């Protein structure tokens, strides 16, 4: 069963991991500590140079080396273990040389826990200003100053190495939704070629490289991609190209199909997914790690995740409601402030409201993944969380 570690113990673990890393003893081990007997859900511990990540676990997104509106001590309080940062944004501002000069991303942003950087591909392929995509890479204009930028698998690896996160993601082509079978097949082929180049130039050491499975909503392409990426035997494997606008049933189908195809002894990361039902279904199919910008984005706009619902705190019904936001939550917002006060902060456009709701929403998703881990350890995951039903025990007991 997974045990939550005290911040003091976690800090000692990080120092030990860091010392081992300096001595050249670097291992990105993934140890499975508990399994659900009726689903593919498992608890695990992923070891990084900056400490362990206990799974299943949600990972907050710190796009520009900051989880928007949240300070590092506040982020630690949410239960976050691994945090994401975006290669594309950090390359544009401040540029990886500045981050490297600071001693790497951990020191630059003041976070001494595990970090993961994406490859930059997802953001680049979302741009309108792409000039060229071919087998070599992508050429696009910087959205900041219009200058020409060439991004190749080698360049993405070099930028991520300079940033220095514990986990780097392979440079991949994520096709949009909808896309033709031919377009998705082409993106898959390119993603696999690029993965080989990422592996060839990455070099390992104190940074793990995760490969990414693509294939859109085409089962035979997903299966082929899972086999190619699994064969690279990397320390972790991700599934991308979900949560890109496809119907939610399609996402569920991909999760159910691809989960069992992934190598069991590696951590499985479902990219861009962070809603309760989707995480529960994914955990039941063997996924371990999740990320999503939604908790902080919703928080900044006055929406709180409470008991599986979304509440707009600007709503007049909260004006005279002096109870805590969510009595079952121990976050800073719920411990110290009322719904009425949060309503007031948003109505008067105070910055603190955005911080408090971001903290609450992050804490909620982290509590949810921790509760799934506890249920797996106690042998009740299949009854409480899978299959997910809106009125199931899971909605009320975590
Ligand atoms: Zn809370």
Token pair listed for 275? 């809603």
Residues 40 and 387: their CA atoms lie apart, in Å, by 12
Q: Which pLDDT belongs to residue 1?
A: 40
Active-site position among 118, 166, 288, 326: 118
Q: Which residue has the tokens 């199919």?
A: 285
What is the number of alpha carbons within 13 Å of residue 104 lying toward its C-beta?
16
Active-site position among 166, 206, 291, 384: 291
Beta strand spans in the chain (E): 30-35, 42-48, 51-55, 57-59, 83-85, 115-117, 130-133, 138-141, 148-151, 167-169, 208-213, 236-239, 268-270, 289-291, 303-306, 309-312
Residues 246 and 203: their CA atoms lie apart, in Å, by 35
Task: Convert the pLDDT of each residue in 128-144 to its tens digit.
Answer: 778 899 999 999 999 99
What is the number of alpha carbons within 13 Å of residue 136 lying toward its C-beta?
4
**How far from the centroid of its chain's Cα atoms is residue 58's Cα?**
6
- Asked about 118 being catalytic, the answer comes back as yes
How many angstroms is it from 380 CA to the middle of ligand 1?
Answer: 25
Is the backbone of residue 210 left (phi > 0), alpha (psi -120 to 50) or beta?
Answer: beta
First-to-final CA distance of the chain: 16
How many angstroms is it from 356 CA to the middle of ligand 1?
Answer: 8
**How far from the centroid of its chain's Cα atoms is residue 282's Cα?**
13
Helix (H, G, I), strand (E, B) or coil at 92: helix
Q: Which pLDDT belongs to residue 203?
A: 93
Helix (H, G, I), strand (E, B) or coil at 233: coil
How many angstroms is it from 294 CA to the middle of ligand 1?
Answer: 16
Task: Convert the pLDDT of each residue in 177-207 to its tens digit.
Answer: 999 999 999 999 999 999 999 999 999 999 9
CA distances from 153 to 173, 196, 200 (A): 11, 9, 10
How many angstroms is it from 135 CA to the middle of ligand 1?
Answer: 47
Residues 166 and 105: their CA atoms lie apart, in Å, by 10
CB 311 within 8 A of CB 301: no
How many angstroms is it from 211 CA to the middle of ligand 1?
Answer: 34
- Asked about 291 being catalytic, the answer comes back as yes
When pLDDT is cut at 50, 70 and 90, the band that residue 20 belongs to is low
- Mean pLDDT for 204-216 is 97
Looking at 115-119, 121-125, 371-375, which range is the least confident one?
121-125
When pLDDT is cut at 50, 70 and 90, the band that residue 126 belongs to is confident
How many angstroms is it from 364 CA to the middle of ligand 1?
Answer: 7
Nearest Cα residue to 62 out of 298, 368, 293, 243: 293
How many angstroms is it from 344 CA to the middle of ligand 1?
Answer: 17
- Those residues whose beta carbon sits under 5 angstroms from the ion ligand 1 are 329, 331, 333-334, 360
Peptide bond into 387 cis (omega under 30): yes
Q: Which pLDDT belongs to residue 387?
A: 65
What is this structure's pTM?
0.93
How many angstroms is it from 306 CA to the middle of ligand 1?
Answer: 8
When pLDDT is cut at 50, 70 and 90, the band that residue 127 belongs to is confident
**How far from the centroid of its chain's Cα atoms is residue 113's Cα?**
14
**Is the pLDDT score of 322 beyond 50?**
yes
């Amino acid at each position: 069963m997974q045990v939550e570690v005290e911040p003091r113990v976690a800090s000692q673990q990080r120092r030990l991991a860091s010392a081992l890393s300096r001595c050249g003893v670097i291992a990105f081990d993934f140890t499975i500590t508990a399994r659900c007997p009726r689903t593919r859900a498992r608890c695990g511990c992923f070891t990084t140079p900056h400490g362990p990540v206990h799974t299943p676990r949600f990972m907050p997104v710190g796009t520009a080396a900051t989880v928007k509106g949240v300070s590092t001590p506040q982020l630690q309080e949410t239960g976050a273990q691994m945090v994401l940062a975006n290669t594309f944004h950090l390359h544009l501002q401040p540029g990886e040389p500045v981050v490297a000069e600071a001693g790497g991303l951990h020191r630059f942003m003041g976070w001494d826990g595990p970090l993961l950087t994406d490859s930059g591909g997802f953001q680049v392929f979302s741009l309108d200003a792409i000039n060229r995509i071919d087998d070599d890479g992508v050429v696009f204009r910087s959205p900041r100053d219009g200058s020409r930028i060439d991004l190749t698998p080698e360049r993405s690896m070099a930028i991520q190495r300079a940033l220095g996160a514990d986990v780097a993601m392979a440079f991949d082509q994520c096709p949009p939704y909808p896309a033709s079978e031919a377009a998705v097949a082409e993106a898959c082929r390119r993603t696999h070629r690029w993965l080989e180049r990422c592996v060839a130039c990455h070099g390992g050491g104190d940074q793990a490289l995760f490969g990414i499975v693509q294939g859109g909503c085409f089962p035979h392409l997903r299966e082929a991609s899972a086999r190619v990426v699994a064969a690279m035997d990397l320390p972790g494997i991700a599934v991308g190209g979900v949560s890109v606008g496809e119907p939610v049933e399609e996402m569920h189908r991909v999760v159910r199909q691809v989960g069992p195809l992934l190598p069991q002894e590696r951590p499985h990361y479902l990219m861009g997914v962070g809603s309760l039902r989707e995480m529960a279904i994914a955990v039941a199919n063997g996924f371990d790690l999740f990320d999503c910008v939604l908790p902080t984005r919703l928080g900044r706009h006055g929406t709180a995740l409470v008991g599986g619902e979304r509440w707009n705190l600007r709503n007049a019904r909260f004006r005279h409601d002096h109870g805590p936001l969510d009595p079952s939550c121990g976050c800073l917002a719920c411990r110290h402030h009322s719904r009425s006060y949060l309503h007031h902060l948003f109505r008067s456009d105070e910055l603190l409201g955005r911080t408090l709701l971001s903290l609450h929403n992050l804490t909620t998703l982290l509590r949810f993944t921790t509760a799934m881990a506890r249920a797996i350890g106690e042998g009740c995951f299949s009854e409480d969380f899978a299959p997910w039903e809106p009125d199931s025990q899971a909605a009320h007991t975590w």
